[in-house]
Structure 1
Amino acid sequence: MAAENILEMHNIEKEYFGNRVLKGVSLTVKQGEIHALVGENGAGKSTLMNILFGMPVIYSTGGIKGEVVFDGSPTEIKSPRAALELGIGMVHQEFMLLPGFSITENIKLNREVTKHNTVSKLMGSSKLQTLDMAAMGKDAKKALDSLGMNVDEWLPIAGLPVGYMQFVEIAREIDKENIKLLVFDEPTAVLTESEADKLLAVMKKLAAHGIAILFITHRLDEVLAVADSITVLRDGEKVGFMTQQDATIEKIAEMMVGRKIEHMNQATKEAQQEEAVALSVRNMSVNMPGEVVKNISLDIKKGEIIGIGGLAGQGKIGIANGIMGLYPAQGELLKDGVVMKMNTPRDAIENKLAFVSEDRRGVGLLLDNSIETNIVMTAMQIQEKFLKPLLGIHVIKMADSAHIRKHALKLIQDLDIRCTGPTQLTRRLSGGNQQKVCIARALTLEPEILFVSEPTRGIDIGAKKLVLDLLVKLNRDLGMTIVVTSSELGELRSICDRIAIVYEGRLETILSPTAPDLDYGLAMAGKYQQHSREAV
């Protein structure tokens, strides 16, 4: 007899290199239930699902504490294959499809149907069988039909609309014979509204056939539409559980973001509204893959720290990248009231803007070069600093090594970059010190406005505080205008004077760091404007 609870996770704890990302989380999912798992970025949702699906990163970093019970039996799921054999399927947020293969081939991959041929019969070996393309196509067609997809099962994946790819991912999972639990990780993020509605209907249909569904999403209206029960995670802890009957968007939103905020930037400017505008962003759109910005207008005031927040993929990262000319942008930028040229990083830097990228290792640093080279490189290229004439010939210039060394040593001391010296390779620094090198390079440009994107991503908790303290110090002591883009809402609320929340590429609202948790939760879910209108 099957257990009523298909999945029980008891007191799950997980550490990554001393950082506790899950702190005694428990979760129960019943057969045929749609169970929503919600929380901010970094709440622990993905780690919990990686544990459930036996992803290698979990056991290569020390494993877990706690117990997993599946279909009534305690189990250790140490690989995706083990998860599949138990009957657990996962529809990942990032597509796991082979573009050169057909829809059918992707659906049946690693579960191909074979048939005997003349050679296999003569040799008596199943390994020499050939693929039964007709049977595979029939299975794929059945899975696609169950999702309401009227598409040729032999079309190649390459060139399909993203919505179709998402349904192919789901078709692959439901084609598996023993599927008992399906995990949907942000399945509607790439879908149109009509496709999302169709998917939610499919989820209800699957649940009605006894398949349990774990539904991870940031869209709270979808949670209320389909979920039978809801678990809320925050900072690696389970902070709430409710049934559909008890749930409201307001309750879920407040649980997601509620926390004690210690405001580090106590010298918040009282007359902020009266201060001059440093940079005006007018009707700006940015075509950054995964972070598209749609017609945003925003005034950045002189001497403030302004935060840009929002959930993953909503467009917040695209704003600074568009302003700095790193991705194609349209609209208008006015620096001190004067129109700036767009789409050219050189012009942005010449207008006294500097940028610390969210991609520290891929874009922000020359990993195999020294600290001092990283600090001065952009200033040498764009502003022709740290150069001297070669043999007195001013047309030909070379690096001024003494000046570079003196400047690097000063910044290493000022920013407390922990290293063996200015010649150390940046690759050999810790994440927090690499981030400080990125900030040092930006400061070398002597900017009036500093854009810092995801300043604490991938660094430990102690280094996080040092980096945030540094941003506050630059603002207070130098009067520098700072724009911080971050997925860590608590960090933004601790250092910023104002916080702009972006949802689906648009500016949802601008809030005070001391605004109620409910306001932040609604804004992150794209419901703040609607809630404000209804409250009037």
Structure 2
Amino acid sequence: MEYIVEMLNIRKEFPGVIACDDITLQLKKGEIHALLGENGAGKSTLMSILFGLYQPDGGIIRIRGREVSISNPNVANDLGIGMVHQHFKLVHNFTITENIILGRETKKGIVVDIRSAAERIKDLSGKYGLNVDPDAKIENVSVGMQQRVEILKMLYRNAEVLIFDEPTAVLTPQEVQELMKIMRSLVAEGKSIILITHKLKEIMAIADRCTVIRRGRLVGTVDVAGTTEAKLAEMMVGRQVSFKTEKKKRQPGDVVLKIENLSVQNNRGIMGLKNFSLDVHSGEIVGVAGIEGNGQAELVEAVTGLRKAESGRVLLKGTDITGLPIRARVNMGMAHIPEDRHKYGLILDYTVEDNLILKVYYQEPYSKKGLLNREAIQRHAEKVMSEFDVRAGQGALSVARSLSGGNQQKAIVGREIDHNPELLIAVQPTRGLDVGAIEYIHKRLVEQRDKGKAVLLVSLELDEILNLSDRIAVINNGELIGIVNTAETDENEVGLMMAGVKRGDSLEDKIQ
């Protein structure tokens, strides 16, 4: 059998953790090979070894049958290996051409020959159906287009093996379809692709074979045509997983959160949220769907008190809270699972038990007359940790930084829900988590709804929005495009609304 890449018995240790424990991955020429695993399973580490960012502690790598040592990414490039990272590595005020040739400039005398590079980029772009404008600046193009620039960067360097690290995390459903088309045309032209992901639906749609790793060890490699999503999930997590969250029909109650004509400035001093209105009732989950950077952050920050509103009002249970400080909002029954768990969710160098009282440390029983009651704090932490299945090496005394992403997230969810809030604002509550942890957090959110609480769910994962929400508000460019009942819509319609097409308009109207 002819393999273009063979990674045999690869081992990689970091202090205190074996990231890759004897993993073998073999890539055939002209195939799309998925690499599937939970967070922290070792996927990115394995690919970073292939791309020369890390050196393995054991095992061998063969490219086209020849054993090689890949000491850095330039060696990988010379061997025909390219990688599109999860977070794109582009210079924003450069043009697309300047980004693509960076480090590989051809010169005419002493001047960089931009024109002939742009011609070559045009040819490549046409050949693979990438449709990029070589002269556009990165800061003016969409995220989907930036990704195509990263793909062109690899093709420009003649890469034969293309590694994609979680490539769909930032794309709309329509852009995901486009990306799959591009991947198929790359393979048709003789390229070979490794796709790192934990999205099972995408593997089923596009991959030929799939290698599954769990906790740094190889579980197995399967032909995708002969397997199912459920089987892959079980290989990945080690147990059966349910994808549909059970929800009973409920009649929503009174309005808990009322947002009226809210306008909020973003960090660049322009209106990131424009005249936005939305009600959330008790006993319902309202999802906010949109592509990243369309006003979701400004909305959440204005409602939670992290950013001031320019105009409009926010009402909680009928009381105007627009100008109230954060603590007052928390005391009125608002809880917030923030988008960035490291920046806003946890103090990473505090213990888990101290993180779990961040919002109530000044209240009894946790403190009295300014002195903390360690016993009460520990009891509280143990209760929340057991109730929300937070696993940590040293229990409540573990430092938050040492927990896996999923356990950090469960600790935050536990802290917020434990306050028994009237309104729970959950932003990207399962970002970067694997199917097991996602299933768990989804259950807890629906449980809040069933207890008659109001839940505002902001997520970039359309599947998550459709699975959990009773109603969906779609946001585009800071404006409310429309509100739909989940039961009466589908992925395609919401995807088009996310791109700015109002219900009842057609895509043609939008383009003209």
The TM-score bracket by the shorter chain reads: 0.5 to 0.7
CA–CA distance in structure 1, aligned partners of residues 13 and 37 of structure 2: 19
Q: TM-score, normalised by structure 2?
A: 0.62
User: Where in structure 2 are there 5+ consecutive unaligned residues?
Assistant: 242-247, 268-272, 383-392, 447-456, 470-485, 491-512
SS in structure 1 opposite 2:139? coil
Change (3 A) 1:278 1:343: farther
Which residue identity is paired with 1:222? Answer: E
Residue in structure 2 matched with residue 403 of structure 1 by the alignment? 369
Structure 1 residue 167 displacement after superposition:
1.0
Which residue identity is paired with 1:86? Answer: L
SS in structure 1 opposite 2:369? helix
Which residue identity is paired with 2:465? Answer: L
Find out whether 1:167 has 2:148 as its counterpart: yes
Structure 1 residue corresponding to 2:87, chosen from 94, 98, 106: 94
CA–CA distance in structure 2, aligned partners of residues 208 and 349 of structure 1: 55
Q: Kindly report the root-mean-square deviation, in angstroms, between the aligned alpha carbons of the 2 structures.
A: 5.7
CA contact (8 A) 1:143 1:172 kept: no
Identity within the alignment, %: 32
Residues 363-411 of structure 1 deviation map (CA, whole Å, 9 limit, x = unaligned): 457899999999999779xx8x89xxxxxxxxxxxxxx9933x226566
Structure 1 residue 492 displacement after superposition:
7.2
Residues 80-139 of structure 1 deviation map (CA, whole Å, 9 limit, x = unaligned): 1221121100112211111121111111111110123xxxxxxxxxxxx32222222222
SS in structure 2 opposite 1:507? helix
CA contact (8 A) 2:334 2:421 kept: no
Structure 1 residue corresponding to 2:402, chosen from 453, 459, 464: 459
**Larger Rg belongs to:** 1
CA contact (8 A) 2:334 2:423 kept: no
Which residue identity is paired with 1:403? Answer: K
Q: What is the 5 A alignment of 1:469-480?
A: none
Structure 2 residue corresponding to 1:507, chosen from 453, 465, 478: 465
Residue in structure 2 matched with residue 82 of structure 1 by the alignment? 75
Q: What is the 5 A alignment of 1:99-498?
A: 99-116=92-109, 129-177=110-158, 179-259=159-239, 324-326=304-306, 341=321, 345-353=326-334, 362-363=343-344, 403-404=369-370, 406-407=371-372, 458-460=401-403, 485=429, 487=433, 490=436, 498=444
User: Where in structure 1 are there 5+ consecutive unaligned residues?
Assistant: 117-128, 262-271, 387-400, 418-429, 437-455, 512-525, 531-536
Structure 2 residue corresponding to 1:44, chosen from 42, 45, 61: 42
Structure 1 residue 8 displacement after superposition:
1.3
SS in structure 2 opposite 1:66? strand
The number of equivalent residue pairs is: 422
Residue in structure 2 matched with residue 17 of structure 1 by the alignment? 15
CA contact (8 A) 1:35 1:227 kept: yes
CA–CA distance in structure 2, aligned partners of residues 139 and 112 of structure 1: 12
Residue in structure 1 matched with residue 481 of structure 2 by the alignment? none
SS in structure 2 opposite 1:183? strand
CA–CA distance in structure 2, aligned partners of residues 207 and 342 of structure 1: 54
Residue in structure 1 matched with residue 452 of structure 2 by the alignment? none
Which residue identity is paired with 2:106? Answer: V
Structure 1 residue 20 displacement after superposition:
2.9
Residues 412-434 of structure 1 deviation map (CA, whole Å, 9 limit, x = unaligned): 665799xxxxxxxxxxxx99879
Change (3 A) 1:482 1:242: farther
Which residue identity is paired with 1:10? Answer: L
Residue in structure 2 matched with residue 515 of structure 1 by the alignment? none
CA–CA distance in structure 2, aligned partners of residues 244 and 237 of structure 1: 20
Find out whether 1:29 has 2:27 as its counterpart: yes
Q: TM-score, normalised by structure 1?
A: 0.60
SS in structure 2 opposite 1:189? coil
SS in structure 1 opposite 2:18? strand
Which residue identity is paired with 1:407? Answer: L
Worse-matched range after superposition: 89-98 or 368-377: 368-377
CA–CA distance in structure 1, aligned partners of residues 359 and 212 of structure 2: 44
